[in-house]
Amino acid sequence: MSSSQTKQNTPSFPATAAGTRFARIAGTGSYLPPKRLTNQDLVAQLAQRGIETSDEWIVERTGIRARHFAEPDVPSSALGVQAARQAIEAAGLQPEDIDLIICATSTPDMVFPSTACLIQNELGIIGCPAFDVQAVCSGFIYALTVADGMIRNGTANRALVIGSEVFSRLLDFNDRTTCVLFGDGAGAVVLEASDQPGIVSTCLHADGRYAKILNVPGNVRGGEIMGDPTLKMDGQAVFKLAVSVLDKAAHEVLEKAGRDASCIDWLIPHQANLRIMQGTAKKLKLPTEKVVVTVDQHGNTSAASIPLALDHAVRSGQVQRGQTLMLEGVGGGFTWGAVLVDY
């Protein structure tokens, strides 16, 4: 679509009076690095390190069968740019139509500037606010909620919200309990101001008392890495807490919307572990057929997992306009949240 065509189709945005302005998802996009590793590929690599595991062991505990890893010279921003371009195109827009960029990532290209600013530059967008959100695997839920608020209050009209991660850089390949879980990728959505609700209700929470059950304890000081820069996780503690808080978050956004779980056409959770996802669906009394699952092919892509799964479901024809979606995530911090969407 040409720039002139886009401008001709630009809607008149609703007034900013309270209760008259909402945010709706206008387009989705995603990107996975070309390098795909099956469980068998990873098992063979780990065997060279003397680490024993198996495809059956990984699948039984996680549901993961494959994941994608970015090449060493490919940063988060490069993945995010590809997903962003897809989302902008799907929305029928040009990059210059975007007036807010938020990137959720725990694996930024550098300490600063933000990955969002680097993506902004690659897209050729000048002047609009651009910043990162760091809430680990809940990052996209946090970023989507922030963008929704900024559109509702008139700060932005069209927001690009991205989740982009290269978690393969944080893995300890001597720890089979964590290195088999994660992958790299990016997903994005374009939110647009509307006079009809799209983002219906949201909730965000955190509890720093649980920081030690999932973290990367290293940092940079004086040009040197201090501590351990690889991911550490207490899997059983994370599992127990995740199922509990995700159920509460889902019911919180339903209560805010004045609805119950029967309104949900699709549950699109953070793709961390198939058993956590199934446990969440069970608590909501949703059949497994209503859960969008990509963890088997993507692994846990942290902040990228929800927009990756959403875009997959949209492009495969699972998710249709007019349906109601429950998005929810939980991650290190400990952070969690949910978003109810009329798509």
| CATH superfamily for domain 200-342 | Thiolase/Chalcone synthase (3.40.47.10)
* pLDDT at residue number 204: 98
Q: Which residue has the tokens 């993506």?
A: 119
Cα–Cα distance, 19 to 33 (Å, whole number): 41
Rounded distance between C-alpha atoms, residue 190 and residue 169, angstroms: 28
DSSP code, position 213 = G
165 Ramachandran zone, left/alpha/beta (phi>0; psi -120 to 50):
beta
Tokens of 271: 């793709």
Determine which one of 137, 179, 203, 273 is catalytic: 137
> 200-342: same fold as 3-34+68-196?
yes
What does the pLDDT read at residue 103? 99
Catalytic residue, candidates 39, 157, 273, 300: 300
Catalytic residue chosen out of the listed positions 68, 203, 270, 273: 270
The reported pLDDT for the residue numbered 20 is 82
**What is the CATH code of the structural domain delimited by 3-34+68-196?**
3.40.47.10
Structural domain spans, the chain = 3-34+68-196, 200-342
- 39 tagged catalytic: no
Contacts 24+ apart (CB under 8 A), 232-240: 232/178, 233/177, 233/178, 235/177, 237/210, 237/213, 238/213, 238/214, 239/273, 239/275, 239/276
- The whole-number mean pLDDT for each consecutive block of 10 residues of the chain, a chain of 343 residues, reads 38 59 98 98 96 96 97 98 98 98 98 98 98 98 98 98 98 96 98 96 98 96 94 96 95 98 97 94 95 98 98 98 98 98 98
pTM (2 d.p.): 0.94
What single-letter DSSP state applies at residue 9? T
- pLDDT of the residue at 285: 95
Active site residue 205: no
Q: Could you confirm whether 137 is annotated as catalytic? A: yes
The span from the CA of 239 to the CA of 154, in Å, is: 39
Helix or strand (DSSP H, E) at 30: strand 22-31
The rounded distance, in Å, linking the Cα atoms of 319 and 178 is 31
Residue pair 184/79 in contact by the 8 Å Cβ criterion: yes
The tokens for 186 are 């990016």
Q: Tokens 């940079």 sit at which residue? A: 220
